[in-house]
Every structure is written in C-alpha cells, then in structure tokens.
Chain A
Amino acid sequence: MIEWIVAILVLFGTAMSLLSAFGLLRLPDVYNRAHATTKSATLGILSILLGAFIYFFFTHGVSSIRMLLGIVFVFLTAPVAGHLIIRSAHRYGSPLAPISVQDDLTAFHTQQALEEDKVRPVEAES
C-alpha cells in the first residue's frame, strides 16, 4: 500500500518536471518560460520529496528532520527565486514575445522614476 502511494507520488512529480522542461523548451520568451518552470518544477519536486519522506517514514521509521527542512526550504524559496529572476529580466529589458499585447509594468516604472526624481533631485548613487 505504501509502495503504491510512493510510486504514484514520484511518477506524478516526474511527469510534472518533464512537462516543465518541455515548457522551458517550447514557450516563446523569458516570462512564459518562467511561468512553466516555477510552478511545475515546484509542484513536481515537492511531490517527489513527499514520496521519499513517506517511504522512509513508513518502511525504516526514519523521520529525517533535514528532509522536512529541505521540503519547507524548496517550497518557500522556489517562488521567490522565480520572482527575482523575472524582476531582473524586466528591469534589464529582456524583450517580450512578438505576440504579446500589453506591458503595463514599463509605464509604471518610468512614472515611478519620474516621481522619484521630482522628490529627491540629488542623491549619491551607491
């Protein structure tokens, strides 16, 4: 019974990871690729790690606290890393795909920069 649960969890995680790799290969620009990678890789890796934790808990009686810590760490940091990469890409000016229709963030950033210049005209740049 436990073996079946572990096998289903690990195969589901593997399928999600493979799908995210195909998304990384096929989608047109950085932002769509991040959409594919971050969500699916997080869900897939979490289900693989949960399967490993269940297997070692029910067959060996080992509840490894480092394993739980690793699960929590991956669950917390994968969305943060994806968000940081995409914010960096947008500020760096990576081009959108030609089929994109709207980009509100560039207008927001330029307006914000103008307001900052109005409030603080002279400031030492680090």
Chain B
Amino acid sequence: MLNTVMLIAMFLLSISLLLTLYRIIKGPTVHDRILALDSIGYIVIGIVAALSIYLDSHAYLETILLIGILAFLSTIALSRYMERGVVIGRKRGD
C-alpha cells in the first residue's frame, strides 16, 4: 500500500515541479524567478523524502539537509544581489 502512495506522491510532486518550472521560464520579473527557484528546492526535498520511503532505505536522508542549506543560501545570495548589487557587503544596520 505504501509503495503505491509514494508513487502517487512523487507523481504529484513532479507535476508541481513542472508548474513551477513554467513560472521560471515565463516569470515577468526577476523576483518571480527567485521565488520559483526557492520553491523548486523545497519540492525536491519532498521528492527525496518520498523516494527514501519508497526504496525503504534511510541512506538518502542526509541529502535533505544538504539541499535545504543550498536552497536557502542561493536564495539569500540572489535576493541580496538584486537588492543592493553585492552579495557580501560592509553596510550594516538593515
């Protein structure tokens, strides 16, 4: 039973991945694309969790933390670059 549920979950998550990819290609502004990239990171985390239940192996669970950290750092870097032109700046206070 659980295998079928995980297959259905991975199928639906892949559909949401495709919808998010449409927003990346079409998105009118840059921040739409950054938002969609952030969302893609979280959807990939969900797909990895469902895949690890489907394969009945806990060897993939480290990947979740890794993808989470990478998605968060890339989002921070992109939004800071779009905000003030540098990624690591010296100006403090905001």
Q: Which A residues are closer than 8 A to B by beta carbons?
A: 3, 6-7, 10-11, 13-15, 17-18, 20-22, 24-25, 30, 33-34, 37, 41-42, 44-45, 48-49, 51-52, 55-56, 60, 62, 64, 66-67, 69-70, 73-74, 77-78, 80-82, 84-89, 91-92, 94-95, 125-126
**Pair A48/B23 contact, Cβ less than 8 Å:** no
CB distance from B18 to the nearest CB of A (A): 8
Tally of contacts, chain A with chain B, CB under 8 A: 166
**Pair B68/A30 contact, Cβ less than 8 Å:** no
Using A3-B2, A17-B43 as known contacts, say yes or no to A94 and B31 having CB atoms under 8 A apart. yes
Further pairs besides A70-B45, A81-B75, A92-B31: 15, Cβ < 8 Å: A10-B9, A20-B16, A21-B19, A21-B20, A25-B22, A33-B23, A41-B39, A45-B42, A45-B46, A64-B58, A73-B72, A74-B42, A84-B76, A88-B82, A89-B31
CB distance from A33 to the nearest CB of B (A): 6
**Pair B65/A73 contact, Cβ less than 8 Å:** yes
A-B contact pairs, 14 of them (CB 8 A): A17-B43, A21-B19, A24-B19, A25-B22, A30-B29, A45-B43, A49-B64, A52-B53, A66-B61, A66-B62, A70-B65, A81-B72, A84-B80, A94-B29
CB distance from A73 to the nearest CB of B (A): 5
Q: Identify which of B9, B15, B49, B75 contacts A85 (C-beta below 8 A).
A: B75
